[in-house]
Amino acid sequence: MSKFSRAIRDHAVPLALIAPSILVILVVVLLPLMFSFYTSFTNYRLIRPDTLWDWIGLRNYQRLLADWDFWVAFGRTILFLTVALNLELLFGLGLALLVNKITWGQRTLRTIMMFPMMFSPILVGFQFKYVFNDTIGLVNNALQSLGLTEFAIPFLVDRWLAFFSISFAEIWMSTSIFAILILAGLFAMPKDPIEAARVDGCSNWQVFRHITLPFLMPFIFIAMTIRSLDVARAYDVVDVMTGGGPAQRTELLWTLIARTAYDDARMGRANAMAYASILLSIFFTWYFFRKLMDARKHLGAF
Amino acid sequence: MPTRTKTVLIWLLTFTVMLIICMPGLWIILSAFRTNGEILTKPAIWIPQNLTLDNFRAIFGFGENVIGVPVSSYFRNSLVISVTSTFLALLIGMTGGYAFARYQFPGKSSTFLWLMLSRTVPGIALSLPIFIIWSRLGIIDTKFGVILVYTAINVPFTVWLTEGFFRQVPNDLNEAAQIDGCTRWQAFWKIEFPLAKSGIASAGIFAFLTSWNEYALASQLTRSTDSKTLPVGLMDFTAQFTIDWAGMCAMAVIIIIPALILTFLVQKHLIAGLTFGGVKG
Amino acid sequence: MAEVKLTNVVKRYGSVEVVHGIDLEIAHNEFVVLVGPSGCGKSTTLRMIAGLEEISDGEIKIGETVVNNLPPRKRNISMVFQNYALYPHMTVSENLGFSLKIAGKSGAEISAAVANAAEILGLGDLLERTPAELSGGQRQRVAMGRAIVRHPDVFLFDEPLSNLDAKLRTQMRVEIKKLHQKIKTTIVYVTHDQVEAMTLADRIVIMKDGHIVQVGTPLDVFERPVDTFVAAFIGSPPMNLINGHIEADHVVFSDGNRLPVPPDFTGKLADGRQVVFGFRADVLMPKGHTLAESGVVTDLDLKIDFAEPLGSESILLSTLGGKEIQARMHNPRPVNEGEVLTCELHLEKCHIFDASSTKNLRE
């Protein structure tokens, strides 16, 4: 007690300054999460408020483990994130290196690169719903006008094409975060090591592989960390593009949560799923944050 | 490969990439000025025959084509909610960011980490308990309810960004000001705040954009014309049997324009803030 | 108009004590330099005087006021920071006038004071520039200008010259000394550079590990170091210090060489006592290359390992008692590696330190 109150007294100013931040997070994030943790052990249904007290222990979680739809959506989410994050990194790196090569008009290109970042995810979803539409979509119109296909291609209906379409939207939206941060890394990079490596007889590829890439790693991990903070933004994109349909063909964990909670009104069960999604997000963020710290330590005091 | 061919290749590649980035957006903007009839025509009409402002008139309730989507109310709601929550998040986040940048206190790094982790909670997962609690408190479907949530989701990132910007202002300056006769408060307002101002502004704009663009939470926490935001309102169009593509495109343009302007204003600071905070621990 | 008095001042961070009860009295208008290796507590002490660090125990008085709990702004002090701490968003004249503006002085008063400070430091042409447009030396001058504008009771300098190149440092050192003669204010100056300390100070305070080791005028600490730490820290090149033991009024080194003890120690040191024999390069000179000086002299044959010609003199490096030692050669001639020179050692200026306590046995 005395040690605690003494710590408070010695650090009264900073503690008072961070108190509002803590308080608002406590009220809007932490307490609701504790509440939803509780409801995940009940049979709570929105339409029957008294079911909030209907304690059913681990049954929601047990059902979840046996729920084929959940596992399909979960697996699809993992696949979706793996594909999207890897391609975003790859394209982002390529784009950054490309823009870095260009000297004339580079500022304009950088500004254009930020374009997708300012789009609301819901707009990105709408945009690609429009572009990939089978009757009036830009892509189908173009393919038909060029005579490449006679029939409309069902981009948002076919199982794999729909997966491709939502992945495309997601990658379109987030590649620029990687490109911009990696470009910032390229700008910050000292020239000496590259020149030294050239003198030591490295080829362009070797310079990239052994000098440039290791230097860029922290920037890549920052991008990954920032990116993994809101992987769940994909919900907005998918919700407007396909709504998880048709027939759950593009169902991701997040759309399944929304459907279970608000359409089926099974709050308790949805909360159990929500915890799976929270753990997933935290896992991604924590993983890349660790990588970032390691990379920073590795590069030392630059 | 000759340098010339290489240059041409690089430019060609860049052009293609930029086309992929720009094309969908440009297509929407173009469509916003076309009629639904032209959009739906088969085979596709590539060169617009007549451009019109009718879609914008319609979504704001002027002209003969009245649509059931009250875009002007949504616009007002979005503006009120985004501005208020940005202001609050900035006030709270800046205070916290300053504390993290300038003071040592027990549990500092773990507090910072937890603050950041709170940002990872998916909006849709967070919406469930908030939906229930806000309903009980009677603040569901109100602007206040949404403002409160947006303030909270913006605080961690504002703390992170402002902390970085305050850390770039050497502590010497604050001490020099105190020796020059300032109180701690004067030293902050006269020296540290002006120097971190542009960074703080970009943190604010970032918070504004997050609120302006948010969908997952707002889609569950708002129901009526009095509280729905633009992104949620966009979905009104899809609820109808036939989609009014031109109207949706016009609304999309309304959503994107403020975001576009603000992002241009802060792009430099934003990148600096993100990389600085992350790399130079 | 103020003296500064520190009584048993202690600084603790949590449970770690970094300054252990310092006592120090600084007279009015005195220029005192706190010097010591990094981590010795000198900067912390200065910052406690400034009020930027709270003191954990003891008392600090400026003039007649106990300032322990006064914030910096109420102490009427000013400070020049290592990185100058100029306000980057203000012009030079705004930087200079900032403290007066905060104090609520009128515009006319401020511009007069700024003009005066600019005059003293030769900043006239720079008043409308921002700090980013200034060179290192100019920034340094503005920082000093900002400090003198408000006529403080005490002037604090925190390693102000460490960011300048060697030539500019020498030049600014002279300017600081001149400034002190002009404005006559109590100055507390922190540095890790003993040359700065020697050239600037009225009195030097040598600190180590949070303690004051010695306080004295530059000549005092140079000629009468209280222990081997001060002996090695002050003076360039540092004092030669060689371990040995006493045998019949001689110090015997590990390599068998022996030197007589200084005359005032004759008969006072017990045989077998472990000591450190210390002398400066200035008192060991090759025969024929000495300065005319009388006194008790002993001869010593040294095999020269290396010579560093400096023009008017050379520093000779040799080995004695297993330690590298340095001698000074006036009116130098070329010396070959391995050449043996007979040198004169002025015994009266040699020191004997206790091997375990490291204290100078002459005090």
Which site among B16, B41, B87, B279 would you substitute to test the A interface, given the most A Cβ atoms closer than 10 Å to its Cβ? B279
What tokens appear for C329 in the block? 């050669």
Residue A4 lies in a domain: no
**What DSSP element (H or E) covers A229?**
helix A213-229
- Put simply, the answer to whether C102 touches B179 (Cβ < 8 Å) is no
Residue B169 lies in a domain: yes
| CATH number for A115 | 1.10.3720.10
For chain C, what is the total number of helices (H) and then of strands (E)? 8, 20
pLDDT in tens, A73-125: 999 999 999 999 999 999 999 999 988 888 788 878 888 888 888 888 998 98
- Put simply, the answer to whether C146 touches B180 (Cβ < 8 Å) is yes
- Least confident piece of the model among B57-61, C56-60, C200-204: B57-61
What pLDDT was estimated at residue B38?
78
Closest CA to B72 of B211, B204, B243, B80: B80
Q: Is A144 or C103 the better-scoring residue by pLDDT?
A: C103
Cα B82 to Cα A116, B91, B148, B209: the distances in Å are 20, 14, 11, 8
What pLDDT was estimated at residue B280?
41
- Residue B74 touches chain A, beta carbons under 8 Å: no
B252-279 burial: b if 16+ Cβ within 10 Å, else e: bbbbbebbbebbeebbebbbbbbbbbbb
What pLDDT was estimated at residue B271?
65
Q: In which residue are the tokens 């208008």 written? A: C29
Q: How far apart are CA C139 and CA C151, in angstroms?
A: 20
Looking at the structure of chain B, the number of domains it has is: 1
**Residues contacting residue A16 through CB under 8 Å, at least 6 positions apart:** none
Long-range contacts of B59-64 (CB under 8 A, 24+ apart): B59/B247, B59/B250, B59/B251, B59/B254
Q: In which residue are the tokens 């500004």 written? A: A111
Is the pLDDT score of A302 beyond 70? no
Whether complex ipTM tops 0.95: no
What pLDDT was estimated at residue B278?
46
Structural domain for B227, as ranges: 71-279
pTM: 0.82
Contacts of A240 in chain B (CB under 8 A): 234-235, 238
Residue B16 lies in a domain: no
Residue B29 lies in a domain: no
Looking at the structure of chain A, the number of domains it has is: 1
Q: Could you tell me if A137 and B43 are in contact, meaning their C-beta atoms sit under 8 angstroms apart?
A: no
- Residue B168 touches chain C, beta carbons under 8 Å: no
Is the pLDDT score of C34 beyond 90? yes
**What DSSP element (H or E) covers B100?**
helix B71-102
Q: How far apart are CA B167 and CA C276, in angstroms?
A: 49
Residue B222 lies in a domain: yes
Q: Which of residues 170-199 of B touch C (CB under 8 A)?
A: 170, 172-173, 175-184, 186, 190-191, 194-195
Q: Could you tell me if C82 and C163 are in contact, meaning their C-beta atoms sit under 8 angstroms apart?
A: yes
- Put simply, the answer to whether A101 touches B10 (Cβ < 8 Å) is yes
- Residue B43 touches chain A, beta carbons under 8 Å: yes
Q: Provide the edge-to-edge strand list for the sheet that holds C297-309.
A: C284-286, C340-346, C297-309, C313-320, C323-330
Q: In which residue are the tokens 């994909």 written? A: A234
End-to-end alpha carbon distance in chain C: 34
Contacts of B105 in chain C (CB under 8 A): none
Q: Which of residues 117-176 of B touch A (CB under 8 A)?
A: 117-133, 148-149, 151-153, 155-156, 159
- Residue A240 touches chain B, beta carbons under 8 Å: yes
Residue A24 lies in a domain: no
- Residue A12 touches chain B, beta carbons under 8 Å: no
Confidence tier at A228 by pLDDT (50, 70, 90)? confident
- Cβ burial of C42 (10 Å; 0-12, 13-18, 19+) is buried
Cβ atoms within 10 A of the Cβ of A45, count? Answer: 17
Is the pLDDT score of C1 beyond 80? no
Residue B39 lies in a domain: no
Contacts of B84 in chain A (CB under 8 A): none
Measured in angstroms, the CA of B198 and the nearest CA of chain C are apart by: 12
Residue A142 lies in a domain: yes
Structural domain for A267, as ranges: 63-299
Amino acid making up residue C359: K
Closest CA to C226 of C235, C215, C217, C236: C215
Collapse the DSSP code of C77 into the 3-class scheme (helix H, G, I; strand E, B; otherwise coil) and give the result: strand
| CATH number for B208 | 1.10.3720.10
Residue B66 lies in a domain: no
**What DSSP element (H or E) covers C243?**
strand C240-247
What pLDDT was estimated at residue A109?
84
What pLDDT was estimated at residue A265?
81
B140 Rama class: left (phi>0) / alpha (psi -120 to 50) / beta: beta
Rg (C-alpha) for chain B, rounded Å, is 23
Task: Provide the 8-state DSSP code for C349.
Answer: G
Averages of pLDDT over runs of 10 residues in chain B (281 residues) are 81 88 86 80 72 78 69 91 96 94 87 86 89 90 93 92 86 91 90 87 88 91 89 80 80 87 74 54 36
Which site among A123, A165, A302 would you substitute to test the B interface, given the most B Cβ atoms closer than 10 Å to its Cβ? A123
Residue of C nearest to B176 (CA): C85
| Ramachandran angles phi, psi of C8, nearest 5° | 45, 50
Closest CA to C94 of C128, C141, C132: C128
Q: How far apart are CA C237 and CA B75, in angstroms?
A: 77
Domains of chain C, first to last: 4-227 (3.40.50.300), 240-354 (2.40.50.140)
Residue B104 lies in a domain: yes
- Least confident piece of the model among A40-54, B251-265, C9-23, C97-111: A40-54
- Put simply, the answer to whether C73 touches B173 (Cβ < 8 Å) is no
- Put simply, the answer to whether B182 touches C103 (Cβ < 8 Å) is no
Q: Please tell me which of the candidates B10, B40, B151 has its beta carbon nearest to residue A102.
A: B10
Q: Please tell me which of the candidates A138, A222, A296 has its beta carbon nearest to residue B27.
A: A138
Residue of B nearest to C80 (CA): B176
What pLDDT was estimated at residue A301?
40
Residue B226 lies in a domain: yes
Is the pLDDT score of A240 beyond 70? yes
What pLDDT was estimated at residue B65?
61
What pLDDT was estimated at residue B279?
43
What pLDDT was estimated at residue B273?
62
Q: Which of residues 23-82 of C touch B (CB under 8 A)?
A: 50-52, 71-73, 77-79, 81-82
Contacts of C98 in chain B (CB under 8 A): 177, 180
Q: Please tell me which of the candidates B172, B190, B191 has its beta carbon nearest to residue C81.
A: B172
pLDDT in tens, C186-197: 999 999 999 999
What tokens appear for C62 in the block? 């400026």
Q: How far apart are CA C96 and CA C261, in angstroms?
A: 58
What pLDDT was estimated at residue B77?
93
pLDDT in tens, A153-172: 788 878 888 899 999 999 99
